[in-house]
Amino acid sequence: MAQGAREGRKLFVGSLPDGIADETLIATFQQYGQIEDVFVKPGCEPGRQSAFVTFATNQQAQYAKESCDRVLTFPGAGRPCEVMIARNQGLFGQQGPQEISPMFAPAGPVPRARSADVASDAGPRKIHVGSLPDSITEWQLRQEFSRFGTVTDVMVKTGCEPGRQWGFVTFQRSAEAQVAKESTDRILMFPGSEKP
């Protein structure tokens, strides 16, 4: 898919009721197009729940925005939700893919998803990355995890307590996410981290 076709596919949805489920968002937004991903932001303050909904095309996302912004109200919400095109689309930001060098990796060959793994690509594409240094950036996570496959989105949680930084990395295929998890879980340690 060309870079231009990817822009504007992710929506930010704010003013959601506390504890809203992914399934509720999918059921509501799928009437506007094909949903590729839903991320309900964890740890929001009461009354400040938000989520991201990614559509297959930017036209579907725009249709959902125009149809729902300040109109759609979920049970338990105090007011209609805000629906807008997300500022960070999570697809290489404003830049294209770059040559990746392993910055923080343990020595050794980098495993990649095998073509046999790709054929049955049902499974999670998003992995949780914890025990990150407080100074970590989305760029650093993208650089490091791009060694395992095509990274389509990176989110670093803001406002964490010192020493409790975490984030999510989403891959194009579930096989890539699985290889990344198996290769880094309790092994990879970024400079400034207290533990892997």
Q: Using a CB cutoff of 8 Å and minimum separation of 24, what contacts does 127-131 make?
A: 127/168, 127/169, 127/170, 127/171, 127/177, 127/180, 127/181, 128/166, 128/167, 128/168, 129/166, 129/167, 129/168, 129/169, 129/184, 130/166, 131/165, 131/166, 131/189, 131/193, 131/194, 131/195, 131/196
- CA neighbor of 183 nearest in space, from 114, 82, 108: 108
Residue 92, Ramachandran bin (φ over 0: left; ψ between -120 and 50: alpha; else beta): left
Q: pTM to 2 decimals?
A: 0.47
Q: Give the whole-angstrom CA distance, residue 42 versus residue 125.
A: 18
pLDDT of residue 57: 93
Which of the two residues, 84 and 96, has the higher pLDDT score?
84
- pLDDT for 89: 65
Task: Kindly tell me if the per-residue pLDDT of 87 is higher than 80.
Answer: no
In this structure, the dihedral spanned by the alpha carbons of residues 27, 33, 34 and 40, taken in order and rounded to 10 degrees, is -50
Query: Residue 69 — pLDDT band, cuts 50, 70, 90?
Result: very high
**Which has more pLDDT, 195 or 130?**
130
Q: What is the pLDDT of residues 45-56, one digit of tens each?
A: 888 899 999 999
Is it the case that residue 173 has pLDDT exceeding 50? yes
Cα dihedral value 68, 70, 76, 78, nearest 10:
180
Residue 129 scores a pLDDT above 80: yes
pLDDT digits (tens, 9 = 90+) for 146-159: 888 888 889 888 88
| Average pLDDT of span 51-80 | 93
Question: Which range among 39-43, 114-118, 141-145 shows the weakest confidence by mean pLDDT?
Answer: 114-118
Q: What is residue 17's DSSP assignment?
A: P
For residue 119, the model assigns a pLDDT of 47
The 35-40 sheet, strands edge to edge: 35-40, 49-55, 10-16, 82-85
pLDDT recorded at residue 4: 47
